[in-house]
């Protein structure tokens, strides 16, 4: 979810970048504002082939790359089969400018370091031929 002003600029840039990939927006499916006909979007191991999004943190060297698997939502209903940009308008009165949702975090590794007030993250592990569902976070330690 993005503040209205941010979403407007973000959407404009995303549509421009996607046009360079020969993608043309189609009738949106609520609650989304930007959608593409699924037949026009190539599928890759990183999800639909759309513009890549980089969320730049404190410097150009620190960014979170979001691929189509985390930026797009597929809607198949009522005769529609579209890929829609999965960011919503949070309005002009959001308490924070950006709220990252579960869809954007899926198949990304995140480490919350509460002691140091830090968040460490990877971009999609799909780029490495795996997914978070394949990870085993259990230990073999015997408790007791």
Q: pLDDT tens digits, residue range 46-88?
A: 899 999 998 887 778 878 888 999 999 999 998 889 999 999 9
Q: What is the pLDDT of residues 77-89, one digit of tens each?
A: 988 899 999 999 9
Do the beta carbons of residue 69 and residue 126 sit within 8 Å? yes
- Total domains in the chain come to 1
Secondary structure E strands in the chain: 25-26, 35-37, 43-44, 47-48, 53-56, 63-66, 72-77, 80-85, 110-113, 118-121
In a domain, 21, yes or no: yes
pLDDT at 118 over 90: no
Is residue 50 within 8 Å of 18, Cβ to Cβ?
A: yes
Across the chain, what does the average pLDDT equal? 85
> Is 142 among the domain residues?
no
Write down the pLDDT at residue 144. 42
**24 belongs to a structural domain:** yes
pLDDT of residue 135: 65
- On whether residue 41 sits in a domain, the answer given is yes
Coil, strand or helix: which one is 23?
coil
Whether 141 maps to a domain, the answer reads no
The yes-or-no verdict on residue 134 having pLDDT over 70 is: no
The CATH number linked to 127 is 2.40.70.10
Is 114 among the domain residues? yes
In a domain, 94, yes or no: yes
């Amino acid at each position: 979810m993005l503040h209205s002003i941010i979403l407007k600029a973000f959407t404009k840039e995303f549509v421009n970048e996607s046009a360079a990939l020969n993608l043309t927006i189609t009738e949106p499916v609520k609650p989304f504002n930007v959608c593409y006909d699924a037949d026009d979007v190539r599928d890759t191991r990183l999800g639909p082939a759309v513009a890549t999004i980089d969320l730049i943190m404190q410097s150009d060297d620190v960014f979170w790359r979001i691929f189509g698997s985390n930026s797009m939502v597929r809607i198949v209903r009522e005769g529609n089969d579209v890929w829609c940009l999965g960011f919503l308008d949070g309005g002009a009165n959001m308490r924070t400018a950006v709220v990252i949702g579960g869809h954007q975090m899926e198949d990304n590794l995140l480490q919350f370091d509460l002691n140091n007030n830090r968040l460490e993250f990877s971009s999609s592990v799909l780029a490495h031929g795996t997914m978070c569902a394949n990870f085993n976070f259990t230990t073999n330690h015997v408790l007791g």
